[in-house]
Amino acid sequence: MANTDVLDVAPIGPDQSEAVWPLSIEAGWNQNVADWRFMLEAGRGFGCRGADGRWEASSLVLPLGADLAWISMVLVARSRRRGGLGTTLLKCCIEDVRRAGAVAGLDATEQGRPLYLTLGFHDLYRIARWHFDEATETVEPPSGIRIRPVASADLPGIALYDRPRSGMERPAILAHLAGRQPGLAWVAQNDAGECAGFILGREGRAANSIGPVVADSEAIALALIGRAAHAVSGPFILDMPETHSRIGGWLERQGAVSPRAYTRMTLGEAEGLDDPARLFALAGPELG
């Protein structure tokens, strides 16, 4: 162990958003204080402080309906790694999810995955993190599809549309994101006026984060991504299940690069979560 004085696990409340933020900055992650505040309000944070009172490790459980909860923001300060803090916090999150009677899911970095495998998580599919500065090509929606900005009256319908396609129940997250950056919030409708897809996003510490993107087809998803990326300036990040090669090709033509990947994992079985056929971008590894 790098350091033996492992401290007690303490809850991290929303008032600690700024105090805990340096952990995600040190890891080079994109969250800003608004992200931490939202997650700590909507979920339950657990962490460890050093002797000087600063947060040295964090973790978070975000409920996504009654049956599923997302574990995220598992961060240990560089100086305290390989000392058991990550495992301690993860076990605490798993216990919290078990008590709630839910299945735990997460998007693992390459660094986090070995730890999750030892605790019984299994892989669902891989996700590529894309970075790009701007969209140069415009994309027309398929015929019969109209794309327009999301209005607050659309939110209940978007949440209903999202639920079976993402496997997550997350109306509060969708409503939060729609308000965070309206320029990234678009809905696709078919001729009958029914929802055929949507895109949301948020500003971040270093880049605008695009996602979630949920749609009836890859063509609609691509049109939504193109519309959002033209409405707001970059740089952008986007986390896409690796199977969607047409969007991958478009991203490459915009000069996008994919320096890292995640693996979606669960501890137990969560219905609908293993099939990304209609899920074209995550809300982010921290939001599901």
Ligand X SMILES: CC(C)(COP(=O)(O)OP(=O)(O)OC[C@H]1O[C@@H](n2cnc3c(N)ncnc32)[C@H](O)[C@@H]1OP(=O)(O)O)[C@@H](O)C(=O)NCCC(=O)NCCS
CB of 91 to ligand X, least distance (A): 9
Rank residues 68 and 85 by Cβ distance to ligand X and give the closer one: 85
The answer to whether 213 touches 199, Cβ cutoff 8 Å, is: yes
Q: Contact with ligand X (CB under 6 A): which of 79, 111, 136, 233?
A: 111
Contacts for 272-278 with beta carbons within 8 Å, 24 or more apart? 272/164, 272/165, 272/166, 272/167, 273/68, 273/105, 273/124, 273/167, 273/168, 274/124, 274/125, 274/167, 275/167, 276/125, 276/241, 276/243, 276/244, 277/243, 278/165, 278/166, 278/214, 278/215, 278/216
Per rule CB under 6 A, is residue 163 in the interface with ligand X?
Answer: no
- Binding positions for ligand X, 166-205, rule CB under 6 A: none
Q: How many angstroms separate the CA atoms of 238 and 210, rounded?
A: 5
Rank residues 108 and 222 by Cβ distance to ligand X and give the closer one: 108
Per rule CB under 6 A, is residue 282 in the interface with ligand X?
Answer: no
Per rule CB under 6 A, is residue 54 in the interface with ligand X?
Answer: no
Per rule CB under 6 A, is residue 50 in the interface with ligand X?
Answer: no
The answer to whether 247 touches 229, Cβ cutoff 8 Å, is: no
The answer to whether 244 touches 220, Cβ cutoff 8 Å, is: no
Q: Tell me the window of 109-117, 127-135, 212-220, 231-239 that interacts with ligand X (CB under 6 A).
A: 109-117
Q: How many angstroms separate the CA atoms of 238 and 235, rounded?
A: 10
Using CB positions, name the residue nearest to ligand X.
86
The answer to whether 237 touches 30, Cβ cutoff 8 Å, is: yes
Rank residues 94 and 187 by Cβ distance to ligand X and give the closer one: 94
Rank residues 111 and 138 by Cβ distance to ligand X and give the closer one: 111
Per rule CB under 6 A, is residue 82 in the interface with ligand X?
Answer: yes
Per rule CB under 6 A, is residue 112 in the interface with ligand X?
Answer: yes
Per rule CB under 6 A, is residue 79 in the interface with ligand X?
Answer: no
Per rule CB under 6 A, is residue 85 in the interface with ligand X?
Answer: yes
Rank residues 118 and 233 by Cβ distance to ligand X and give the closer one: 118
Q: Which helix (H) or strand (E) holds 22?
A: helix 17-26
Which residues are near ligand X by CB under 6 A? 27, 74-76, 81-87, 108-109, 111-112, 114-115, 118
